[in-house]
Amino acid sequence: MTERRYTREHEWITVDGDVATVGITDFAQEQLGDVVYVELPAVGRKVTRGGEAAVVESVKAASEVYAPLSGEVVAVNEALAQEPATVNADPFGKGWFLKMKLADRGELDGLMDEKAYRAFLAESH
Protein backbone atom coordinates (compact mmCIF):
# COMPACT_ATOMS: atom_id res chain seq x y z
CA MET A 1 0.00 0.00 0.00
CA THR A 2 1.20 3.47 -0.84
CA GLU A 3 2.18 5.61 2.12
CA ARG A 4 0.14 8.75 2.63
CA ARG A 5 2.01 11.95 3.48
CA TYR A 6 0.59 15.14 4.98
CA THR A 7 1.13 18.90 4.98
CA ARG A 8 0.70 21.40 7.83
CA GLU A 9 -2.21 22.86 5.80
CA HIS A 10 -4.04 19.49 6.04
CA GLU A 11 -3.58 18.18 2.52
CA TRP A 12 -2.67 14.54 1.92
CA ILE A 13 -0.74 13.01 -0.93
CA THR A 14 -0.03 9.48 -2.12
CA VAL A 15 2.53 8.69 -4.80
CA ASP A 16 2.42 5.91 -7.39
CA GLY A 17 5.48 6.02 -9.61
CA ASP A 18 5.86 9.66 -10.61
CA VAL A 19 2.15 10.51 -10.23
CA ALA A 20 0.73 11.81 -6.96
CA THR A 21 -2.90 11.99 -5.84
CA VAL A 22 -3.88 14.97 -3.67
CA GLY A 23 -6.81 15.59 -1.33
CA ILE A 24 -7.67 17.16 2.00
CA THR A 25 -7.57 15.34 5.31
CA ASP A 26 -10.46 14.20 7.43
CA PHE A 27 -9.55 16.96 9.91
CA ALA A 28 -9.76 19.59 7.15
CA GLN A 29 -13.16 18.48 5.89
CA GLU A 30 -14.50 18.39 9.47
CA GLN A 31 -13.31 21.97 10.02
CA LEU A 32 -14.90 23.13 6.77
CA GLY A 33 -18.27 21.52 7.37
CA ASP A 34 -20.51 20.54 4.46
CA VAL A 35 -18.62 21.05 1.20
CA VAL A 36 -20.86 22.69 -1.41
CA TYR A 37 -18.42 23.55 -4.23
CA VAL A 38 -14.97 22.52 -5.44
CA GLU A 39 -12.94 24.48 -7.99
CA LEU A 40 -10.35 22.24 -9.61
CA PRO A 41 -7.30 23.28 -11.66
CA ALA A 42 -7.05 22.74 -15.40
CA VAL A 43 -5.26 19.61 -16.57
CA GLY A 44 -1.81 20.68 -17.74
CA ARG A 45 -1.51 23.46 -15.16
CA LYS A 46 1.82 23.63 -13.38
CA VAL A 47 1.61 23.94 -9.60
CA THR A 48 4.31 24.84 -7.13
CA ARG A 49 4.71 23.33 -3.67
CA GLY A 50 2.77 25.52 -1.27
CA GLY A 51 0.91 27.31 -4.07
CA GLU A 52 -2.84 27.20 -4.61
CA ALA A 53 -3.95 24.10 -6.48
CA ALA A 54 -7.74 24.12 -5.93
CA VAL A 55 -10.48 25.84 -3.93
CA VAL A 56 -13.07 24.22 -1.71
CA GLU A 57 -16.16 26.03 -0.45
CA SER A 58 -18.38 24.90 2.38
CA VAL A 59 -21.33 26.25 4.28
CA LYS A 60 -18.80 27.80 6.70
CA ALA A 61 -15.96 29.11 4.51
CA ALA A 62 -13.95 29.01 1.32
CA SER A 63 -10.44 27.64 1.54
CA GLU A 64 -7.52 27.05 -0.76
CA VAL A 65 -6.14 23.59 -1.31
CA TYR A 66 -2.36 23.94 -1.58
CA ALA A 67 -0.10 21.77 -3.69
CA PRO A 68 1.93 19.53 -1.37
CA LEU A 69 4.58 19.19 -4.08
CA SER A 70 5.49 20.84 -7.37
CA GLY A 71 4.40 19.32 -10.66
CA GLU A 72 1.91 19.28 -13.50
CA VAL A 73 -1.78 18.45 -13.09
CA VAL A 74 -2.53 15.32 -15.14
CA ALA A 75 -6.08 14.58 -13.92
CA VAL A 76 -8.82 16.11 -11.79
CA ASN A 77 -11.74 14.50 -10.00
CA GLU A 78 -14.58 15.71 -12.24
CA ALA A 79 -17.12 13.89 -10.04
CA LEU A 80 -16.64 16.55 -7.36
CA ALA A 81 -18.33 19.13 -9.59
CA GLN A 82 -21.58 17.16 -9.33
CA GLU A 83 -21.08 15.73 -5.84
CA PRO A 84 -18.83 18.06 -3.78
CA ALA A 85 -20.06 16.40 -0.57
CA THR A 86 -17.94 13.38 -1.56
CA VAL A 87 -15.08 15.32 0.06
CA ASN A 88 -16.92 15.02 3.39
CA ALA A 89 -18.02 11.42 2.92
CA ASP A 90 -14.74 9.94 1.69
CA PRO A 91 -11.85 12.44 1.95
CA PHE A 92 -9.14 9.77 1.58
CA GLY A 93 -10.87 7.86 -1.23
CA LYS A 94 -13.40 9.13 -3.76
CA GLY A 95 -12.97 12.71 -2.45
CA TRP A 96 -9.51 13.20 -4.01
CA PHE A 97 -8.98 16.50 -5.87
CA LEU A 98 -6.22 16.06 -8.44
CA LYS A 99 -3.41 13.91 -9.74
CA MET A 100 -0.10 15.45 -10.65
CA LYS A 101 3.14 14.39 -12.28
CA LEU A 102 5.89 15.20 -9.80
CA ALA A 103 8.64 17.63 -10.72
CA ASP A 104 10.91 16.62 -7.81
CA ARG A 105 10.39 13.48 -5.72
CA GLY A 106 12.84 14.92 -3.18
CA GLU A 107 10.10 17.33 -2.05
CA LEU A 108 8.38 14.34 -0.41
CA ASP A 109 11.01 14.49 2.33
CA GLY A 110 9.45 17.73 3.60
CA LEU A 111 6.06 16.12 4.28
CA MET A 112 4.87 14.37 7.44
CA ASP A 113 4.08 10.69 7.71
CA GLU A 114 0.89 9.66 9.51
CA LYS A 115 2.51 9.43 12.95
CA ALA A 116 4.03 12.93 12.62
CA TYR A 117 0.75 14.34 11.31
CA ARG A 118 -1.20 12.91 14.26
CA ALA A 119 1.33 14.47 16.65
CA PHE A 120 1.03 17.78 14.77
CA LEU A 121 -2.78 17.68 15.16
CA ALA A 122 -2.51 16.88 18.86
CA GLU A 123 -0.09 19.76 19.46
CA SER A 124 -1.84 22.39 17.36
CA HIS A 125 -5.54 21.70 17.91
Q: Compute mean pLDDT per 10 residues along the chain, 125 residues long, and list them.
A: 88 95 97 96 97 96 95 98 96 97 94 96 88
Question: How many domains does the chain divide into?
Answer: 1
User: 91 lies in a domain?
Assistant: yes
**Per-residue confidence (pLDDT) for residue 43, from 0 to 100:** 98
Per-residue CA distances from 68 to 12, 45, 123 (Å):
8, 15, 21
Exposed, middle or buried: residue 104 (CB in 10 Å: 0-12, 13-18, 19+)?
exposed
- State which residues form the domain around 64: 4-119
Amino acid at 14: T
User: 90 lies in a domain?
Assistant: yes
User: 40 lies in a domain?
Assistant: yes
User: 125 lies in a domain?
Assistant: no
**Per-residue confidence (pLDDT) for residue 74, from 0 to 100:** 98
**In CATH, what number is assigned to the domain containing residue 66?**
2.40.50.100
User: 124 lies in a domain?
Assistant: no
User: 72 lies in a domain?
Assistant: yes
**Per-residue confidence (pLDDT) for residue 121, from 0 to 100:** 96
Start-to-end CA span in the chain (Å): 29
**Per-residue confidence (pLDDT) for residue 78, from 0 to 100:** 97
The contacts of residue 123 (CB under 8 Å, 6+ apart) are none
User: 63 lies in a domain?
Assistant: yes
